[in-house]
Amino acid sequence: MISRMKIYLHEMYPVPQRLLASFLMTSGFLALLSGLCVRPFRLDSLEVIIGTMAVFMLMLILRLMDELKDLEIDKTLFAHRPVPSGRVYEKDIHISLIVLCLGFILIHTYRAEVLISAILLLGYCGLMYKYFFIPNILRRYLLLNLATHNPVIALVFGHITVIFLSGSDNGSAADPVLILPLILSFWASLFAWEIARKIRSPREEDAYVTYSQIFGRTGAVAIAAFAQLAALVLFLIIIFRLGLPIMAGLPMIVAFPGLVLGYLRFLKYPVPRNADLKMQAEGYILVMGVNSLITVLIL
């Protein structure tokens, strides 16, 4: 089973890249949150370690849940993947899910409020796994599925906030009105990634429902770009609140036109080689995490 799961992780959830992404998202978010709460920030703090582990494990839990939810579809449309191809067994995914869920709970047992938050977050993931007990409806309507599933990202950052505020040396929280734009900013960038990963060129479209089928290529790209613009604006609001010059957000400011150019190239030449908008969206998320850390260094 271990050998089979190594195959799965290598192809579907490469650990080094996902661990780095989890670290950058968590530490970047906590860095800005520390600034808003006027508290010192350390990369080796318990909040960064637990938060990174929580994000990494939860994203893998969601990936494995999707593997089981979409198994029949994958057998038809993505037969080359590890589970549909038979290289990884369905029972391997079930066992891995149980182990990961227990591990996720275990790392949060050091404080009651953190444990409660973790259980609630895992419970929401369970509802997602069951399609909120209305699978026939959510499977048919991608937008409704998005509306019920994507908020888990905001809940993840809310959970990281709970981890931070529960620390005995973190004192009182900042005004929730200030924390909300921070959560929304990170959520918006990940929402854009969710849209971008389901945008395809006409040559690639098939029975798999994509946002480019629902909204058209231009509409789907516009939604992703608007979400990333919202992330940038909210990020700059945080910068302003911290009393920093606008140039503190330079990495994100510079990265956004690059995204737009990529989108325009795809719209003008909608061929497969220009359709990998998912990678561009992932890059923007990483830039956001790095920019957040740089901002705290400026402080």
Per residue of the chain (299 residues), what is the pLDDT tens digit?
999 999 999 999 999 999 999 999 999 999 999 888 888 888 889 999 999 999 999 999 999 999 999 888 888 888 999 999 999 999 999 999 999 999 999 999 999 999 999 999 999 999 999 999 998 898 888 889 999 999 999 999 999 999 998 875 544 555 667 789 999 999 999 999 999 999 999 999 988 889 999 999 999 999 999 999 999 999 999 988 888 888 889 999 999 999 999 999 999 999 999 988 999 999 999 999 999 988 877 66
pLDDT of residue 77: 85
123 class by beta-carbon count within 10 Å (0-12 exposed, 13-18 middle, 19+ buried): exposed
All structural domains of the chain, each given as residue ranges with its CATH number in brackets, are 1-173 (1.10.357.140), 175-299 (1.20.120)
pLDDT of residue 175: 60
Which residue, among 83, 79, 125, has the nearest Cα to 101 in the 3D structure? 125
pLDDT of residue 174: 57
Average pLDDT, the chain: 91
Structure tokens at 167: 């620390």
pLDDT tens, residue by residue, 159-203: 999 999 887 554 455 566 778 999 999 999 999 999 999 999 999
pLDDT of residue 173: 53
124 class by beta-carbon count within 10 Å (0-12 exposed, 13-18 middle, 19+ buried): middle
pLDDT of residue 152: 96
pLDDT tens, residue by residue, 127-159: 999 999 998 898 888 889 999 999 999 999 999
pLDDT of residue 172: 52
For residues 195 and 150, is the Cβ–Cβ distance under 8 A? no
Structure tokens at 123: 């419970």
Which positions ≥6 away from 75 have C-beta within 8 Å?
84
Structure tokens at 234: 């909210």
pLDDT of residue 176: 64
- In this structure, the number of other CB atoms found within 10 A of the CB of residue 41 comes to 20
102 class by beta-carbon count within 10 Å (0-12 exposed, 13-18 middle, 19+ buried): exposed
The pTM for the full model equals: 0.92
pLDDT of residue 168: 56
Element housing 222 (H / E): helix 211-241
Q: Which residue shows structure tokens 């920019």?
A: 291
pLDDT of residue 142: 86
